[in-house]
Amino acid sequence: MRRVLALACAAFVSSAVLGAVPAPLAVAGPDDGEAVLRADADGPLRIRREGGVATFVGTPAGTEIDNPAVGRGTSVSAAARAHLARYGAAIGADRAGTRLVEHGRSAAAAGTSVVRYQQEVDGLPVLGGDVVVTLDKDHDLASLDANLSDAASVGSATVTEDAARTTALGSVGRSRVKGATAEDLGRWVLDPATLPVPAITGARSAWRFEVRAGDGVRRMVLVDDRSGVVLLDVDLIQHADRVVCDRANLNPVDDPPVCTAAYARTEGSGASTVADVNLAFANAGRVSTFYATFGTPDMQDLTALIGHEAADGKKLRSTVRVCITGIPCPYDNAYWNGQAMFYGKDYPRADDIVGHEMTHGVIERIAGLIYFDQSGAINESLADIIGEIIDHQTLAAGESPSEFLLGEDLPDQPPFRSAADPTAYYQPDRMTSTRWYSGEGDSGGVHTNSGVGNKAFYLISQGGTFNGQTITGIDAGDQGLAKSARLWTQVIETIPAFAEYDDLATVLEQSCADLQGTVLTAADCTAVHQAVLATEMTTRPTNEPVRDAARTCPGTTVKRVLLAPASETEQAAFTAAAGWTRTPDATVVPNAFSGDTAWFAEDGATNNESLVAHLPIRADDWIDLPAGQPAYLAFRHWHAFEYWADPEKEYYDGGTVELVRDGATTANLESRAWAAYAPKRPLAYNLLPSGRTAFAGTSKGWTGSRVDLSEFAGESVKPQFTMHYDPYWGAPGWYLDDIEVYTCDIPTGTPELVGTPALTSGTPRVGRKLTISGVAWSEAGTETTYEWRRGGVPISGAVNASYTPVYADLGKVLSVVVTGTANGLRSLAHTRTTSAVQRGVITAPSKVVASGTPYVGRRLTALRGTWSPSGITFRYQWLRDGRAISGATASTYVIRRTDKGHRIAVRITGSRTGYTSVARTSASRSVTR
């Protein structure tokens, strides 16, 4: 599934409309479309499906698809249209309301060609709705990559473009951006089924703008054309014929201008006296040479592809030593802003960084990968990869070809990232890594989650053993990484605009298949496949937050509902302030977790600088929480509140949860114990009292929360949910569903703990037995069970009252869970926890002896005495006057002539895994004869 949240700002030129080609085959659905594909193919196909419809069809090396309507003489555009006409049903291209408009075609490596189509619904382009058709050298179908909306139509706009533009400018201006202007890009369709934007539910249309402020601010903003709220706000800044300008680390400005005059260096002007100018110029040349040599045909003239047009024509424009208002000068970064490259002091020294930034331009022009979430991480990774290949092709003196570091040429600072070991720089090296970032900052973790792609690049290029795969690298013996260069430029040429890592996996393998026999071998494609497996590209990240809170009770207690989540009748159970409504209604898009309805409050704006809104919805009836037992409030919700994520998070609006208590006092619940998703974000501009936090930002879909109400046991309460928003702008809002309050009853006859269990006192150590004692129960004949856990995970076989820590426990926290069973009922679980387990202690004798007569030629024997525990390994070192004798490491030592007149002793060291080593040294013996 593709979760990318925005579309690159490429201009779509309609040069061919699929509706004008011959009618598609009369097929009933995707299965029949696949049947035609398989019938026309002379070998196996690579097919990926979502929801019963193919999203990718590829031909492994050796397989050809024979479309009778296509021959070698058929033009690229006509061949692509013919393939869609014959096979389009397999990918859902024939769905109602859809037409596909060709918006780009290009030549790729090994004679292949690429044609890209934009989906339109009701004449409006769909964000993320695209099809990429790759043709082989004979114009037969090599692959189809599709991401299409099911929407058949959209409604009319009720918010004008002028009003939406004002909202877009105001939203960006809120982040203290000054002098912003907005380019109108018309109406577009957003469909979360194709492009899961967290701020919307269901397909809807929006006004799209590109907002700029100088050359340092470039954002894509989409405003709902019916409600007028901001649905999406994405940062598009991506951190030959050459010209270079020099800002000289002077005069910080909000946004440095593109280099169009007052050049510090141009073609033929001669070298500058400023090193950064010359390095930016030289490294831009190296990048141009790389693409001319290894790029697909569309990439080979880099000036034509990414150069910026000004009065003196199109040129590759770089500005060095920039400084930006509000950021320390010298500026410690570099970026591509969609038009040109900008470098802080010293950054042009690093050819991999120059290659990285210019490759952002190539990616934008060729693939349109947006800079957000997994798509943005892949964008960053591709830029890293090309930058690193360029670095290896132009190694400086002293650089090692075995290093795969980004930014290692910068003075006075460490590298930024490592492709060989992303975890060394706090990046994930696989999808299930705990370092995977699932938050909202850094445009969804683009500079962190790029580690997965970087690790795949390293494994493909250099090989190695990783995560169960032993890989032979494709670049063995080639410092210039030529095969990798061809592979990854083909990936850039053919990857769809809205890609996640599972898309990158299929594109990588298909790109290798396309190049097999000309540039790459079957063994190379095996390496690509193994790297995809090793980095787990087709697996969902496991470090994403829990999406729902369990509505369960501890132990054998029994759940009893006090406020039922009757989703279709909750309207009668709550009183809502103005601003809350029950979906669906005339203006709110239907959205519910259970059934068809839910509570909803729009995240609005008071439009009065002295007025903010606090809108509660509260249960009508008092709920009696039983004394002496647990109680919980659980609910499911979906929210998108106004916030600003980069460069620093700032949350403007949000939602809180309270408990109205008998006597009309209110308890704020954010500080209580929550399961799964908790309200922990502060709101800006004092919208909440100091110390309060809220649900804020986006929930990224439906999620479930649960809060412990046990401290209110014995009271009568009413749960309350409050929407808070300030005077400015807004966002879609907050949906609530399945609101439930329940308690956990203890069955009669259940054993209850009456003793005070305690663990062995003192520091827990490897080899030191731990025992829990003092366990007593209320019911006679209660059977006690024990379960020891390491870091919360049960230890196999550790089911007694005592447990002796082993080496695997070193540094871990241990716990023992005690339960009792009587009358067929199990007690609550009771847990006691240790501190982290330390190394064990070896007990050694007070002295050891070097036994024997200390004469030349006689043998001395080390007598070590009694040590404990068992299993100790001993090392011996004989000493002459307290200094180690080379090679004298046995338990015996024959005295040499050189020892005469000196003192001989032995040092015995005892070691055992998980224990602190101990050494004892014998008394010295004088060698007199």
- Residues belonging to the active site: 357, 447
Tell me if residue 780 falls in helix, strand or coil. Answer: coil
Q: Secondary structure of the chain: what % helix, strand, coil (to 5)?
A: 20, 35, 45
Residue with tokens 């540039």: 519
Nearest to 513 by CA among 491, 546, 541: 491
Nearest to 422 by CA among 439, 440, 441, 445: 445
Q: Which residues contact 54 (CB under 8 A, 6 or more apart)?
A: 30, 33, 34, 47, 48, 90, 91, 144, 146
**In Å, how far are 124, 189, 599, 811 from 197, measured between CA atoms?**
18, 12, 21, 42
Residue with tokens 């410690």: 332
Q: How far apart are CA 857 and CA 894, in angstroms?
A: 6
| Tokens of residue 633, six digits | 């409030």
Residue 685 backbone dihedrals phi, psi, to 5 degrees? 60, 35
β-partners of residue 694 are 681
**In Å, how far are 359, 406, 418, 457 from 383, measured between CA atoms?**
5, 11, 13, 12
Residue 759: Cβ within 10 Å count: 18
Query: Do the beta carbons of residue 182 and residue 230 sit within 8 Å?
Result: no
Q: How far apart are CA 308 and CA 336, in angstroms?
A: 12
Residue 838: Cβ within 10 Å count: 17
**Strand (E) positions, 90-237?**
98-107, 113-121, 124-135, 141-147, 181-190, 204-213, 217-224, 230-235
Q: Which residues contact 123 (CB under 8 A, 6 or more apart)?
A: none
Q: How far apart are CA 339 and CA 352, in angstroms?
A: 19
**Strand (E) positions, 731-801?**
731-745, 758-759, 770-773, 783-790, 793-794
**Amino acid at the residue 505:** A
Q: How far apart are CA 639 and CA 591, in angstroms?
A: 11
Cα dihedral 22→27→32→38 (10° resolution): -20
**In Å, how far are 383, 871, 910, 916 from 913, measured between CA atoms?**
45, 9, 11, 8
**In Å, how far are 261, 264, 276, 323 from 249, measured between CA atoms?**
18, 14, 11, 6
Backbone torsion region of residue 893, taken as left when φ is above 0, otherwise alpha when ψ lies between -120 and 50, otherwise beta: beta
Residue 720: Cβ within 10 Å count: 19
Residue with tokens 């989409």: 222
Residue 851: Cβ within 10 Å count: 14
**In Å, how far are 565, 658, 717 from 714, measured between CA atoms?**
22, 17, 10
Q: Checking DSSP bridges between strand 574-576 and strand 613-619, what pairing results, if any? A: antiparallel
Q: How far apart are CA 512 and CA 499, in angstroms?
A: 18
**HEC sequence for 258-323:** CCCCCCCEECCCCCCCCHHHHHHHHHHHHHHHHHHHHCCHHHCCHHHHHCEEECCEEEEEEEECCC
Residue with tokens 């009309």: 664
